[in-house]
Structure 1
């Protein structure tokens, strides 16, 4: 069964409200193996809504709409579905009583327009709303079925969970769906997709690649009566192909993976941060019990503090400035030694929007100093996305991810330059 989503409201179309409903519905439907083929946003115009519904049913078997079921005159979904079906709106006496009872219980006066929420296209089925006033609607049209849900997020989610998703699963026969998400960091999406080509080709297996700043999640979905067995085989093969690029699965996060590795070995880490301004320390202290593995951190934005607090040689800073691989290495060793940690992790670079000391925006040096090793330095050569303030946020977030991945690889004794080579090869391939 193919599903299209239609979210309705001028506030969504004009960007005044973020369309979180579509994102939530897409995620939940995908989790149950229901295929969403398109998501469309339209404003509060009767003819536009009708046209969008007809177009969607020309491509899909079902459409789920959100919004436009409230009491005001710009809530037009009921009217649009009635007109699309060629039927009148009828006031449902049970719904009207329920609305009157809710208003009376709240000790508020009843606004006459509130009773619009009791108007239902003739022949439509009601989808019970146990947490709000406006019911959902199920309307049969010549091209398929429309599920109309309120735009209030917790009301929409309740009806989706209690009514719509179970019905779609029943209608599509998707009783057997299994899903697993693998998590990677520091490797480009195209590299991962190329590596997993043979998994992508397996019967009743679907892969989705979900990139974010410096990370890529791989969602593996298996369908069919033996979905769990298919999923296990696909996951095993994906792990074998990706090797040590996989740091976790499911709800695991990179900081938790690092903490787990440190705790297993009785080790600690201290962090020296320049361009990230404490973001790595915040990430490493987000989970309860992090004090067992996180010794502390030093934020040294000022060049002079890198010398005074971390022992970075003054002549090195004068000659090369603060953004240099040797400076990153000295910061990592300095914070390790001065805070008495097993590992020192340091970052320095240019987050923008202007260049610094002749270094372009996106130049980042990350260093990790192990218990007995000389500091290793990693230059991820980050892309420069967006403009203005957008640059700083993305570069800083990507630096946090790359730094934690470098630490993870160092703890495991893996090649810390793996991700750098992968990224460089990918860029060269794209020209």
Structure 2
């Protein structure tokens, strides 16, 4: 089965909103054994939507459309479907009644515009929306089937999971796929280490880099081949691989801490609370996250965390020993088993003579205290690096904690000829 994805919306076309829906749909359709041939974005005009739908139907068996099902005048996906089919829009009175009830419960007077969501092309089948108001639509058109879904990500995913994927999924055609999660290593080094897998005829790899993380998607001809490939990858990567599937680094850290009934506290400077936010994003994190101190100003590192005033005066705030004392201060003051401290220069300018991208992470725990200075890849234009430096620092700090909990040394450099793997960036 061949599919095309069509995203409707001026806000996506001009770049105000990132097209996350298409990325999610591509992954889900591929996992269901549906071959995605093309993904396109069109603006909010009847002509653009109708033309893109006709082109997609000429090339695919199934078209998934997101966006344009709301209540405003620029929501024209329903109109485009009706125009292609040569049928009128018909008001579904049951849905209109539900919309009126919802508005009245919210203390709002029903108006004509919201009721547009109850207008559907004649002959279309409504798909229930478990997460919102506007239903999805399934419509048979010359050339194939169109599934029209809301653009709101949560609503789109809910309808896909409940109504669309069960219809499209082909278990016999679905490939055996698993994503491996790694941290702290560059894509090129991973590719070199996983070269033995690349040589296999029954396996293919795709590398998906993010700041300080790389996901490796393994696609195999069969489930036994996938299981064998994943086992081989684990042996080749060791502790660099922290998880699989949708696992996040923060969730893995949480699980490791929870299994030992341990907690962590953080002291942050350049990350400004991002590290604590990442740790608390995980459900159940109150069991393992004691709290955090955002000591952005230099004097607060001394006043709140007990960092030596003379050390700060002599070396400045961006220093390995400062990071260690921040970690120790967080651990002691917040009563945690582990403490993490992060300090550095996110840019765009230098600080205390330290260049942009200089980062020091301190950790304190049952095995003592130490610092780690990651080497972060930076773009030529450092004015664009700030967000990535902060994100990479969060990842590196979490990965340092993971290594510390496991009792595995944090690798600093991983050269091709070092079989003992004493290094990794």
Match of 1:88 among 86, 89, 92: 86
Aligned position for 2:312? 317
Contact 2:376/2:392, CA 8 A, preserved across alignment: no
Name the CA distance, whole Å, in 2 between partners of 1:383 and 1:355. Answer: 14
Aligned position for 2:275? 280
Match of 2:209 among 208, 211, 217: 211
Aligned position for 1:145? 144
Residue 405 of structure 1 deviates from its aligned partner by 0.7
* Distance change in 2, residues 1:116/1:396 (3 Å): closer
Aligned position for 2:119? 117
Contact 2:267/2:295, CA 8 A, preserved across alignment: yes
Give per-residue Cα distances to partners, 1:173-197, cap 9 Å, x unaligned. Answer: 6455544332222122333233334
Contact 1:363/1:382, CA 8 A, preserved across alignment: no
Aligned position for 1:409? 403
- Local SS of the residue matching 1:33: coil
Aligned position for 2:137? 136
Aligned position for 1:65? 65
* Distance change in 2, residues 1:11/1:314 (3 Å): closer
- Local SS of the residue matching 2:127: coil
* Distance change in 2, residues 1:421/1:152 (3 Å): closer
* Distance change in 2, residues 1:127/1:398 (3 Å): same
- Local SS of the residue matching 1:352: coil
* Distance change in 2, residues 1:276/1:114 (3 Å): closer
Residue 41 of structure 1 deviates from its aligned partner by 1.0
* Distance change in 2, residues 1:130/1:270 (3 Å): closer
Contact 1:44/1:68, CA 8 A, preserved across alignment: yes
Aligned position for 2:393? 399
* Distance change in 2, residues 1:421/1:364 (3 Å): farther
Name the CA distance, whole Å, in 2 between partners of 1:41 and 1:401. Answer: 32
Q: TM-score, normalised by structure 1?
A: 0.76
Residue 381 of structure 1 deviates from its aligned partner by 3.1
Greater shift in the superposed pair: 345-354 or 248-257: 248-257
Name the CA distance, whole Å, in 1 between partners of 2:340 and 2:70. Answer: 54
* Distance change in 2, residues 1:301/1:64 (3 Å): closer
Q: Aligned ranges for residues 194-343 of structure 1 at < 5 Å?
A: 194-200=192-198, 202=200, 205-222=203-220, 227-264=222-259, 268-287=263-282, 290=285, 293-294=288-289, 296-333=291-328, 335-336=330-331, 342-343=337-338
Aligned position for 1:429? none
Residue 321 of structure 1 deviates from its aligned partner by 1.4
Aligned position for 2:3? 3
Match of 2:185 among 173, 184, 187: 187
Residue 234 of structure 1 deviates from its aligned partner by 2.3
* Distance change in 2, residues 1:74/1:277 (3 Å): closer
- Local SS of the residue matching 2:357: coil
- Local SS of the residue matching 1:357: coil
Contact 1:268/1:294, CA 8 A, preserved across alignment: yes
Contact 1:273/1:280, CA 8 A, preserved across alignment: yes
Q: Aligned ranges for residues 103-114 of structure 1 at < 5 Å?
A: 114=116
Residue 364 of structure 1 deviates from its aligned partner by 0.6
Q: TM-score, normalised by structure 2?
A: 0.77
- Local SS of the residue matching 1:38: strand
Unaligned stretches of 5+ residues in structure 2: 105-109, 419-425
When the two structures are aligned, how many residues end up with a matched partner?
407
Contact 2:79/2:89, CA 8 A, preserved across alignment: no
Contact 2:181/2:244, CA 8 A, preserved across alignment: yes
- Local SS of the residue matching 1:239: helix
Match of 1:381 among 365, 376, 394: 376
Residue 350 of structure 1 deviates from its aligned partner by 1.0
Name the CA distance, whole Å, in 1 between partners of 2:135 and 2:405. Answer: 55
Aligned position for 1:35? 35
* Distance change in 2, residues 1:103/1:333 (3 Å): closer
Give per-residue Cα distances to partners, 1:17-56, cap 9 Å, x unaligned. Answer: 5545434423432332323233211113344334433443
Unaligned stretches of 5+ residues in structure 1: 426-431
CA RMSD in angstroms comes to 4.0
- Local SS of the residue matching 1:380: coil
Residue 305 of structure 1 deviates from its aligned partner by 3.8
Q: Which protein shows a greater Rg? A: 1
Contact 1:149/1:159, CA 8 A, preserved across alignment: no
Match of 2:350 among 345, 348, 355: 355
Contact 1:79/1:89, CA 8 A, preserved across alignment: no
Give per-residue Cα distances to partners, 1:118-169, cap 9 Å, x unaligned. Answer: 444xxxx63332345666243343xx42414143546644553344323333
Residue 358 of structure 1 deviates from its aligned partner by 1.5
